Amino acid sequence: MQQTSDEVLIQRIAGGDRLAMQVLFARHHVRVYRFVLRLVRNESTAEDLISEVFLDVWRQAGRFEGRSAVSTWLLAIGRFKALSALRGRKEAELDDEVAEAIEDVSDTPEVAMQKKDTSGVLRKCIEMLTPEHREIIDLVYYHEKSVEEVAEIVGIPENTVKTRMFYARKKLAESLKAAGIERGWP
């Protein structure tokens, strides 16, 4: 069974087709939510933001020119909304949320290492990356975005995408080393 393409759904949405909107939402909302959640670190805010993202799609579908994939467009809108929401928050609120995020119930990399859980250590180190580095790791590894697509979503040159990915991986390797896992790189 072949799916209706995202581009066709956008065309129908531009004509006011609510069912096409439901299909597009069902197809992409979880990934958009996870991407936004990793940026804003608050589930309720992330839920509010994804409905805003798809509302923008409803309003702007007629202007979508298909020069990038629909999923790339959605993530770019999501990122913009998330950063706007973060800028709108008070410093104190932000500090509280960051503190909550740090007070994680799971093991620290060191504790995970003591349990010989190297995969767990790696996951912990990924979670502890800076937002900038985590974002690029997520876009490349989880959202399967090409160099060009990451450049479009984040709004940076393609060479910067590669450099940022390199430094994100380097930081990851350093965190692993600090937790007792030496990978011999970089």
Residues that bind other proteins (CB under 8 A): 2, 4-5, 8, 11, 14-16, 18, 21-22, 25, 29-30, 33-34, 37-38, 43, 46-48, 50-51, 54-55, 58-59, 62, 119, 122-123, 126-127, 137-138, 140-142, 144-147, 149, 162, 165-166, 169, 172-173, 183-185
- Buried b / exposed e over 76-103, threshold 16 CB at 10 Å, is bbbbebbeebbeeeeeeeeeebeeeeee
Measured at the CA of 43, the angle between CA 90 and CA 111, to 5 degrees, comes to 95
- Closest approach, Cβ 37 to other proteins, in A, equals 6
Of 26 and 99, which CB lies nearer to other proteins in the complex structure?
A: 26
As measured in angstroms, the least distance from the Cβ of 145 to other proteins is: 7
For residues 179 and 112, give the distance between their C-alpha atoms in angstroms, rounded to a whole number.
9
Nearer to other proteins, 1 or 92 (CB): 1
Whose Cβ is closer to other proteins: residue 34's or residue 89's?
34
Cβ 156 to other proteins shortest distance, Å: 15
Comparison of 92 and 102: residue with beta carbon closer to other proteins: 102
Of the pair 91, 172, the CB lying nearest other proteins is at: 172
**Is the preceding peptide bond at 157 cis, omega within 30 degrees of 0?**
no
Contacts of 173 (CB under 8 A, 6+ apart): 183, 185, 186
> Minimal distance in Å, beta carbon 87 to other proteins?
22
Q: What is the DSSP letter of 139?
A: I
To other proteins, the closest distance from the beta carbon of 133 in angstroms equals 12
Whose tokens are 């940026």? That residue is 39
The answer to whether 24 and 10 have CB atoms below 8 angstroms apart is: yes
